[in-house]
A and B are shown apart, each in its own frame.
Chain A
Amino acid sequence: MKNIRLTQGALIAAMLAAGAAQAGTLTIESWRVDDKGLWEDVLIPAFQKKNPGIQVKFSPTAPTEYDSALQARLNGGTAGDLITCRPFDKSLDLYKKGNLDKLDGKGGMQNFPASAKVAWQTDDGKDTFCMPMASVIHGFFYNKKIFKDLNLQPPKTIDELHKVSEAVKKAGKTPIALGTADQWESSQIVFTGIGPNFWKGEEGRKALIAGKAKFTDPQFVAAWEEMSKWGPYLAKGYSAQTYGDTQNLFASGRAAMVAAGSWDIGYYNQQGVDFGAFPPPVAKAGDKCYISDHTDIGLGVNSKSKNKADAQKFLEWVGSQEFADLYTNKVTGFFSLSNHLIAVKDPVAKQMIDWRKTCGSTIRLNAQILNRGEPNMETELWTVNSAVLNGKMTPKAAADRIQNGFSKWYKPAK
């Protein structure tokens, strides 16, 4: 009997304590489930050292469920104080609905170049609603040992990519690690990763938005045509291969190259792979190169937050040199978007960020404006691009389907 009372007492005390602790706790909504440890062990403690007494909780949702779950929590009034922002339309949508605070002129914002802020501004550029955090760069990784053994150089042109792939295949290894079972890689890594070299990065993307180009134009179809040739270079049964399989395949040294993004650097380092990176190959030697340098993550303040003063303090810290340094060098492969001079320590990450010096940067093709209607272009691209890689759809059919869906709702102002 006494025991039960004790337990009850303890329970009530615990609930009260939890309630008290929660009153001042900042909660961060995010889709970066993989970074939970990093936030809890590195970033948040670093912030608390400067701002003692502010409790911060990092509470991520799986990426595929993030948008929907966040929207539901915002509608229900249970969302966190700080909200990790997807680039462009998804966050713009939140801002238009009044879920995010306007951040112009707030502390920390002055540390970012205009180009970084574009992803989180209204179309006229007047309101900024999220602080830019990081971008990711797309390209290829290659296994240095396999390349050395076969006496190969990282390919610079499409032809070289095919030659290198043939040579690796002859040697009995998988040339490129890539699967289509999860679909998103086909679109976000392959199509919008290698594509900018064909449609000249921003030039092609802006032409689509202006209504001056169509997906059925040769510069876009060319990207699909290249993809349709990859089948023989991928592992057997790649249509049933998941992203995890792909990572394993490259990490275990069974594949010579992997179509990847900078966010994977940390994983392959952990696995102890000796690897380098090369940017998406160009059509002819000497052509200008373009890379998908995607402004990927921002951070905004929930307009219904009860703790805006602390949220603002946190945001100010996110705009600081210290955060930029920690984020770039601890969350390897995510590159801070701030103006601070950061020494990138990881060799592969450094290699990738240096591409910015010679190549034109662009974002993922459909990230801005093109995703606003129905059918949803992102979802369509996942389906179409994996079908092209699987050899189930011709490049022309892919272009037709995307253009048809697009023209159903998009009428650019002329």
Chain B
Amino acid sequence: MKKPLPWHIVVFLAPALLIYVVFSAWPLIDTLRLGFYVTSDTGSQHFAWLANYKMLMFDPHWSEGFWNAMGNNLKFFLVHMLIQNPIGLLLAALLSMRGVRGAKVYQTVLFLPTLLSVVIIGFIWQLILSPLWGVSETLLGYVGLADWFQPWLGQEETALYTLSMMSVWQFVGIPMMLIYAALIAIPDEIIEAAVVEGASAWRIFWTIRVPLILPTLGLVTILTFVGNFNAFDLIYSVKGALAGPNYSTDILGTYFYRAFFGYQSQLGSATLGAAVATLMFLVILAGVGVYFFFVQRKLQRFSF
């Protein structure tokens, strides 16, 4: 006997599907289309196949900026991977230990910056680090390190890393919470069995807990990747669209902003902007693809 089509499922899914198509899928596809056009001086657009992409990747005075932004973006991501996520893991491990007093208070305090607007974060840190009005130099002076103080946000060598660390400071609560949730979800029996077998706490952590939370670590990685390659707001609010000094903090987001909206005497171009957006999309797609192919497939058997 043939099963009747489950109409109720279609009916209930349709509104959500419709909204996603209209506000998410269609704009994305249209962006891909727009990237193939060029805008003339009068604002009319005509099809130009790969002209925008050629310009972005090979015309020196666009490509230099593009690859610079790409490189900076990669550094921005690596700082998060190497500092934010390990700290998140460490904090989660500490918080999930038994008998930590005030664990909830710690969680809340560590998570608080995540709730603040990026603009506020940017402004606060700009003030703290300001060589004119900031408190950093005085605070460093109390521990005898005043000579180490530098205008970190104003130097080409340090500006990007300073901004990355500000972002780490703000967002460390998210990996912490995700990993924490995974850690406390590990069934007590497994841990108890290991304890009975005589395993040390260190060994339990590395050979039982960490493998069991690998899918979560994978999720955190991919969230960090997507988030960082779409980043824009912090840099824009602290350094403006020119991402100075000398483009040392320019990432794909700010590069896209200048291409799309224009800045100062550079006019914006929706078509060139769409091409940059497409390239950003492809980078993220490739990253996610690599992750799914090499990592996610192997993680399946650990999920519970």
Contacts and interface: CB of A to CB of B under 8 A. Distances in A.
A237 B150 contact: yes
Interface in B38-57: 41-43
Nearest to A70: B267
A239 B42 CA distance: 39
A382 B266 CA distance: 13
A398 B154 CA distance: 19
Contacts of A386: 244-246
B294 to A, nearest CB: 40
B263 A235 contact: no
A114 interface: no
A97 B42 CA distance: 6
A325 interface: no
Q: Shortest 9 CB-CB distances between A and B: which pairs?
A: A237-B131, A240-B154, A68-B262, A237-B151, A239-B154, A75-B43, A240-B151, A68-B268, A240-B153
How many B residues are at the interface, by size bracket? 20 to 34
B206 interface: no
Interface string B179-223: 000000000000000000000000000000000000000000000
B241 A64 contact: yes
Interface in A365-414: 371, 374-376, 378-379, 382-383, 386-387, 390, 392, 405
A68 B261 contact: yes
Nearest to A71: B267
A164 to B, nearest CB: 21
A236 interface: yes
Contacts of B246: 383, 386-387, 392
A245 B132 contact: yes
A181 B244 contact: yes
A93 B151 CA distance: 40
Interface string A38-81: 00000000000000000000000001110111011011000000
Interface in B253-277: 261-268
A392 B42 CA distance: 39
Interface of A: 63-65, 67-69, 71-72, 74-75, 90, 93, 97, 180-184, 235-241, 245, 248-249, 371, 374-376, 378-379, 382-383, 386-387, 390, 392, 405
B154 A64 contact: no
B279 interface: no
Contacts of A240: 129-131, 151-155
A236 B150 CA distance: 9
Which of A63, A240, A375, A392 has the most chain B CB atoms inside 10 A of its CB?
Answer: A240
B132 A67 contact: no
A240 B159 CA distance: 9
A65 B246 CA distance: 20
Interface in B228-265: 239-242, 244-247, 261-265
B301 interface: no
Contact of A376 (B131, B132, B266): B266
Contacts of A248: 132-133
A117 B155 CA distance: 42
A386 to B, nearest CB: 6
Contact of A378 (B131, B241, B264, B268): B264
A183 B132 contact: no
Contacts of B132: 235-237, 241, 245, 248-249
Nearest to B268: A68
Given A237-B132, A238-B154, 11 more contacts: A64-B241, A65-B263, A71-B262, A180-B154, A181-B244, A239-B155, A248-B133, A375-B61, A379-B264, A379-B266, A392-B245
A143 B262 CA distance: 38
A321 B65 CA distance: 49
B162 to A, nearest CB: 10
Given A64-B241, A97-B42, A386-B246, A392 B156 contact: yes
B265 A376 contact: yes
Nearest to B263: A64
Interface string B126-159: 0001111100000000000000001111111000
A75 B61 contact: no
Contacts of A241: 130-132, 151, 154
A383 B245 CA distance: 8
Contacts of B247: 383
B32 to A, nearest CB: 22
B265 A90 contact: yes
B71 to A, nearest CB: 17
B61 A67 contact: no
Contact of B267 (A67, A183, A239): A67
